[in-house]
Each structure stands twice: as C-alpha cells, then as structure tokens.
Amino acid sequence: MTSNLVTSLIYVSRKTLPAPKNAEAVNDILLVSRQRNKSLQVTGALFSASSTFAQFIEGPKPAIDQLMESITRDARHRDVKVVSVKDDVPRKFPDWTMAYSGDEHYMDRHISRLFEALPGGLFKEQLGQLEALMVEFGKRAATDPARRS
C-alpha cells in the first residue's frame, strides 16, 4: 500500500440490521470492503457497536468519494453522518485494507454522541476521542491477524 498523503474520512451511522443477522452481515461487509479497498488503495478500520457503525477510511480522494456514494446507499445502516474529512494527511492505517473491531458496546457511547452533537467545541472533543480510540485500536490490533487484512 502506498504511504503518500491521502484524504481521510470518518463517518458514523445507525444499524438497521436485526440482531440475529448482524454477524453475518458484518462479515459480508468486511469481505467486500477488503477486496474493493485493496483495488482502490484505501485503508481503514470499521467499528461495529451494538446499534451503530463508525468507519475510518483513507486513500485517494476520488476513491473515498466513490466509496462514500456506495456506503450511503447501503441499506444495512441509516443516518450516515460524515464527522471528519481531512485532505493531504499521512495514513493512520497503512497496509490495512480494513481492520475490524466488532460488538464493542463501549464504542456505542462514543459513536452515538456524534449524532446529536452540534459543531463546535464539544463535538470536536467527542470526535477527537473517537478518532484516538480508532487509531489506538489500529496500533494494538496490528498483531492480531483476525482483525487485520
């Protein structure tokens, strides 16, 4: 994977998946994402909490735009809210097509706050906390092959 400067994007969304189908649907998302992201030179991480998703994607801007068009049309979630976009930044998940952290109930609190928060100081603080958790996960999971691809 290339390590040049990229566009990074974080979005949050609310799941529409019934609990019994959650694991199967997330596995499908990961399988498709890892294949597509590799071809688009996109890296990142997906967090699946009990009722929400948060995803950090990074790569060439046209690829990020293309992915977001697909992501917003996906019926497995709703209320897709882009909470951060940064251009010309170094990758935080180099060589990862899609790291994954699932059923992290403590993440729901961090993700859900971003749906109601208004732009400003508190929103920035909550977004900073979520981004820090995602990056820390990436560092710790680097040695766990089940979470990395």
Pick the CATH number of 6-141 from 3.30.70.100, 3.40.309.10, 3.40.1410.10, 3.40.50.970: 3.30.70.100
Residue the block writes with tokens 């030179």: 41
For residue 88, give the H/E element and its range: strand 77-89
Domain boundaries, the chain: 6-141
Residue 147 has a pLDDT of 47
Nearest to 130 by CA among 11, 3, 38, 34: 11
* pLDDT in the model for residue 148: 45
pTM: 0.82
What is the rounded distance in angstroms from the CA atom of residue 116 to the CA atom of residue 87?
Answer: 25
pLDDT for residue 42: 94
Q: Amino acid letter at 86?
A: K
The tens-digit pLDDT sequence of the chain (149 residues) is 444 799 999 999 998 988 777 788 888 888 898 899 999 999 998 888 888 888 999 999 999 999 999 999 999 899 999 999 999 999 998 877 888 877 666 677 778 777 776 666 667 788 888 888 888 877 776 666 554 44
3-class secondary structure, 28: helix
Question: Residue 120 in contact with residue 78, Cβ under 8 Å?
Answer: no
Tell me the longest C-alpha to C-alpha distance in the chain. 41
C-alpha–C-alpha distance, residues 126 and 29, integer Å: 26
Sheet bearing 43-48, strands edge to edge: 77-89, 6-15, 52-59, 43-48, 99-102
